[in-house]
């Protein structure tokens, strides 16, 4: 559903345009508080907008256990995406990978395993051996792979994370936060939707051994399609979950719960709270014209304007009709215009409180017009300026 279905855009330069009428009844916005969550840290975030719906100790640096593996597979996905690696490539299993303690995929020393199988071994079976095997194949050794993990963490804005290994086994200076894990999970879902489906797979068989996904929510809630569990004595029981209901995706992170059931229950409580009391809407489609603006001295008189990406909002339920959107367009746009140049903004408010503001960009380039056009428009601009000064 978009605003454009409910009213007409008036395309006057510099004019502020209310695109969606406010509700006639001035109903107060009341949202119940988030449920009490028993965990060291947690966060609930809308995937599309990044809006935080609930949080506690979200920036506390904590041991992530196997939640580390979200970053491990993200790095591998990036290597596949840039052509440095392929799903059917074979990785040779080292002694170090084989003897890694904890949860295992049960690879064999000197065996050759497809990258796709190793990824599923990490995602579904939480195999520490598979994690190390991937790290060694991609980077030569786990230390160098950890450097790659940290470089991606910096690029993604994970400001309170540092990784020392690929599997999440306890190590000094190995930590992350609930907020950073939500950021990472959002990037993984956004960049690799085709691979993300593996996180919803409930079991995987390798070497004639079938293991089940430890994420209990995959069986409890059909809207949940990921993401990853983790446990060590230091970290406690952890779970990053994501669910999609009616085109709204939420990401919940719970770290340091007391048991396997507790981490599932607390994530379920967070997700249910978010879906019950909030709703998400795509107001505008990215790179689709919302307006046209006059271009002076160009080979075209107009340029289409829109937002670079889909514009979503997350709001309390039953307040969609209280939204207002205003479009501000620069008064004087002179060629040349490059696609992507900023020429205004879209401002969305709820009860007079701004909830999002996005740049309005040119959706195509406009080159300078011929000499006649430039001279004519120049004269017209001078006349307008003269008239405005009277």
DSSP string, 79-118: HHHTTS--TT-EEEPPHHHHT--SS-----TT-EEEHHHH
- Give the bridge partners for 255, in sequence order: 41
Which of the four pLDDT bands, split at 50, 70 and 90, describes residue 381?
A: confident
What is the residue whose two structure tokens read 């289409």? 304
pLDDT attached to residue 5: 29
Beta-ladder partners of 282? 312
pTM, entire model: 0.88
Tokens 């009341």 belong to residue: 30
pLDDT band at 10 (very low <50, low <70, confident <90, very high): very low
Give me the pLDDT at residue 260, please.
Answer: 97
pLDDT at 3 over 60: no
Do 70 and 227 form a contact (C-beta atoms < 8 A)? yes
Quick check: is 358 catalytic?
Answer: no
User: What pLDDT was estimated at residue 2?
Assistant: 35
Catalytic site includes residue 200 = no
Question: At a CB cut-off of 8 Å and minimum separation 6, what does 187 contact?
Answer: 74, 156
Q: Please give the distance of CA 154 from its chain centroid, rounded to a whole number.
A: 15
pLDDT tens digits along 71-87: 999 999 999 999 999 99
pLDDT in tens, 165-216: 999 999 999 999 999 999 999 999 999 999 999 999 999 999 999 999 999 9
200: left (phi over 0), alpha (psi -120 to 50) or beta: alpha
Per-residue pLDDT averaged across 220-224, rounded? 97
Residues paired with residue 303 on neighbouring β-strands, in sequence order: 293
For residues 235-263, average pLDDT = 97
Is 69 catalytic? The answer is yes
Do 163 and 150 touch, CB atoms closer than 8 A? yes
Residue 29 pLDDT level (bands cut at 50, 70, 90): confident
- The CA-CA-CA angle for residues 4, 358, 251, to 5°, reads 90
Among residues 51, 69, 120, 164, the one annotated as catalytic is: 69
pLDDT recorded at residue 331 = 85
* Active-site residue, from 40, 126, 161, 242: 126
Separate counts of helices (H) and strands (E) for the chain: 10, 16
Would you say residue 323 has pLDDT above 60? yes
With a CB cutoff of 8 Å and minimum separation 6, the contacts of 143 are none
Going along the chain from its start, the domains and CATH numbers come out as 3-26+283-388 (2.60.410.10), 41-257 (3.40.710.10)
Distance CA 33, CA 55 (A): 11
Q: Which of these is catalytic: 40, 66, 94, 103?
A: 66
pLDDT of 382 reads 82
Which pLDDT score, from 0 to 100, does residue 376 have? 77
Q: Report the C-alpha dihedral over residues 319, 320, 321, 322, rounded to 10 degrees.
A: 60
């Amino acid at each position: 559903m978009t605003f454009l279905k409910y009213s007409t855009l008036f395309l006057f330069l510099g004019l502020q345009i209310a695109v969606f009428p406010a509700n006639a009844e001035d109903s107060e916005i009341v949202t119940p508080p988030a449920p009490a969550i028993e965990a060291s840290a947690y966060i609930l975030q809308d995937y599309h907008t990044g809006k935080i719906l609930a949080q506690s100790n979200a920036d506390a640096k904590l041991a992530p256990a196997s939640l580390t593996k979200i970053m491990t597979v993200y790095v591998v996905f990036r290597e596949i995406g840039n052509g440095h690696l392929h799903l059917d490539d074979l990785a040779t299993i080292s002694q170090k990978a084989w003897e890694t303690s904890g949860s295992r995929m049960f690879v064999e020393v000197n065996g050759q395993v497809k990258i796709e199988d190793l990824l599923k071994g990490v995602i579904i079976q939480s195999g520490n051996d598979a994690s190390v095997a991937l790290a060694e194949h991609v980077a030569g050794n786990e230390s160098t792979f950890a450097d790659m993990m940290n470089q991606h963490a910096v690029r993604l804005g994970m400001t309170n994370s540092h990784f020392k290994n690929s599997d999440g086994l306890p190590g000094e200076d190995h930590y992350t936060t609930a907020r950073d894990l939500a950021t990472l999970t959002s990037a993984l879902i956004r960049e690799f939707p085709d691979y993300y489906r593996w996180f919803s797979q409930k079991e995987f068989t390798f070497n004639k051994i079938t293991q089940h996904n430890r994420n209990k929510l995959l069986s409890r809630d059909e809207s949940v399609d990921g993401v990853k569990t983790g446990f060590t004595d230091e970290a406690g029981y952890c779970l990053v979950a994501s669910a999609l209901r009616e085109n709204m995706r939420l990401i919940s992170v719970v770290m340091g719960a007391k048991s396997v059931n507790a981490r599932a229950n607390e994530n379920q409580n967070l997700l249910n709270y978010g879906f019950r009391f909030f709703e998400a809407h795509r107001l505008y489609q990215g790179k689709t014209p919302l307006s046209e603006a006059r271009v002076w001295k160009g080979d075209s008189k107009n340029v289409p304007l829109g937002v670079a990406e889909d514009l979503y909002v997350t709001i309390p339920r039953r307040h969609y009709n209280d939204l207002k959107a205003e479009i501000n367009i620069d008064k004087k746009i002179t060629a040349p215009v490059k696609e992507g140049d900023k020429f205004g903004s879209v401002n969305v408010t709820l009860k007079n409180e701004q909830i999002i503001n996005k740049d309005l960009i040119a959706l195509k380039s406009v080159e300078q017009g011929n000499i006649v056009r430039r001279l004519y428009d120049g004269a017209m601009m001078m006349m307008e300026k003269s008239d405005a000064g009277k």
